[in-house]
Amino acid sequence: MKLKAIKRTMVLFAGIAVMASCSEEFLDVDGNGIFLEDEYYSNEIEAFAGLTAVYDVVGWETFVGRMAGLNAASDDFYAGGGSSTDTNELQVWSNYTLNPNQGPQGEFWAKAYSGVFRANILLTKLPNVPMSQDKIDRFTAETRTLRAYFYFDLVRMFKNIPLITAPVAAADYYTIPQVAPELVFEQIEADLLAAIPVLPATVSTNTEGGRMTQAGARALLGKVYLWQNKFTEAAEQLAIVNGTPGTTTQFGNKLLDNYADLWNVDNKFNSESIIEIVHTKGGKWSDWGNVAGSEGNILNQMVGPRNYERLDTIAAEDFVPGYGFNPMTEDLFNTFTDSDTRKDATILNLKQLVLDGNADYEPGYMDTGYFLKKFAGRERNRNVGAGAFELNWNQNTYEIRLADTYLMEAEAIVRGGGDIARAQALLDAVRTRANMPSIPANEENIFRERRLELAGEGHRWYDLVRTGRAATVLSSRGFVAGKHEILPIPLLELSNTIIVQNPNY
């Protein structure tokens, strides 16, 4: 099956939003907010529903989305929207005026800890579910990979966080301390290393698209190592994922010949995809009364130009009017060369279309005339079924794809003093696909290539922070070194707990 939404019920523990779910009905909750689980997880169907519930968190979307926020905080995009206060959580991250009570941190914290909570519950239940040991082992490996995924987000965004690896009684949430980030990374590594040999090498994209594989867990582990500057370890893991540059890997991955095909909404789980976040359209819960219940990709609606009008049906494409978030900066636009085939696939140049009389739109806040074409919703993909179409775009997003792992491995090799010839081959493969000539495989060139190849996919801000470039590149936005590399702990999490606010907030 493909992983889809299942019903949810929310309980709050010390301000941490945690979710539980089952396939058809709500789990019971007693007066103290503790789930009555004794009669659940009694068979394989219920265990799979629990696993689906953990995967479900990965795709949760609201208007304070992770990718929209990461884009807005980078030097490649602005928050945009209709005004300087439109979705203020994104605005204050974009201009670095965020504080413990204002910003996207509450959404991000709640989402990730919801995933951790669900994973911890399932891990305690799986050993006793009456099903084959192979199924127990696989479900466990997937769950540990997902827990690592959630903790990687948390430690990168907040650094100083509680590390919870087992279900905790509601009353005890008030006394859970933060731990050193090194301990969180140790847990992430342990989860992934335990999961990798158990996960399947490949899955059927028709029946299991979106489930974790060995390639996905290894790629995530390589990324975790790279974040910690463990270059030898990162290069080792990523080399297993990448194989011989330009050829099909042992896991069946290969760069697509045409970069633009990555953004074809129907081209799901293609050969370049390693970890893909699933979105669907027509979800029965996806209406304005339950935005958080959407299984759609809200980013498609967010980044479309406001009041877009197609005046020439040949020169202008069938974009649906959106909300004008994440307008692209002039700097990123000018970084692309005209010969780079990624330029047209990445950028909707409405400035030129308007000048040529082929289209019109309403400029939004911090408008530049350049929009993120990769994710702008199109009429041909618009949902016409149940639910609000604005919440029901079905374009999947790549958490990790092969070009990303090529460039991560090339960087790890160069920064770790490895095989420069291999790093060159990895970089050349990415550039050749983009119709770009070979350039030396050095740190700056690889870093610049990541900006072009992965533009708008939520990687740039993390890359700036982990390489120490953020304070310089983002100084004009208001970025303060020693503060803005991480987000503030959400104010609600400090109430009646022993959690301490991050420095300088």
Q: What is the pLDDT of residues 128-139, one digit of tens each?
A: 999 999 999 999
Which residues are bridge partners to 102 per DSSP? 99
pLDDT at 10 over 60: no
The secondary element (H helix, E strand) that includes residue 414 is: helix 402-416
Percent of the chain beyond pLDDT 70? 90
Average pLDDT over residues 225-239: 98
Instruction: Specify the CATH class of 201-278+396-467 in words.
Output: mainly alpha
391 against 338, higher pLDDT = 338
The pLDDT assigned to 21 comes to 32
Residue 350's SS3 state is helix
Angle among Cα 90, 449, 104 to the nearest 5 degrees reads 15
Q: For residue 468, what is the DSSP state?
A: T
For residue 377, which of 428, 465, 272, 302 has the smallest C-alpha distance?
A: 302
Which residues, 6 or more positions from 95, have their beta carbon under 8 angstroms from its beta carbon? 79, 477, 478
For residue 26, which of 56, 53, 55 has the smallest C-alpha distance?
A: 53
For 63-87, letters b (16+ CB in 10 Å) and e give: bbbbbbbbbbbbbbbbbbbeeeebb
* CA 167/CA 118 separation, integer angstroms: 9
* CA 401/CA 181 separation, integer angstroms: 26
Q: Are the C-beta atoms of residues 94 and 365 closer than 8 Å to each other?
A: no
* CA 432/CA 410 separation, integer angstroms: 15
Residue owning tokens 């498609």: 300
Angle among Cα 241, 247, 249 to the nearest 5 degrees reads 30
- For the entire predicted model, the pTM comes to 0.92
Domains in the chain: boundaries = 1-64+104-199+470-505, 201-278+396-467
Q: Tell me: the pLDDT tens digits for 439-474?
A: 999 999 999 999 999 999 999 999 999 999 999 999
The pLDDT assigned to 28 comes to 31
pLDDT at 26 over 90: no
Q: Which of 234-243, 283-292, 378-387 has the highest mean pLDDT?
A: 234-243
Domains 1-64+104-199+470-505 and 201-278+396-467 share a fold: yes
Q: Please say whether the structural domain 1-64+104-199+470-505 has been given the CATH code 3.30.1050.10.
A: no
* CA 404/CA 106 separation, integer angstroms: 28
Which residues, 6 or more positions from 68, have their beta carbon under 8 angstroms from its beta carbon? 90, 299, 302, 303, 325, 326
The pLDDT assigned to 391 comes to 87
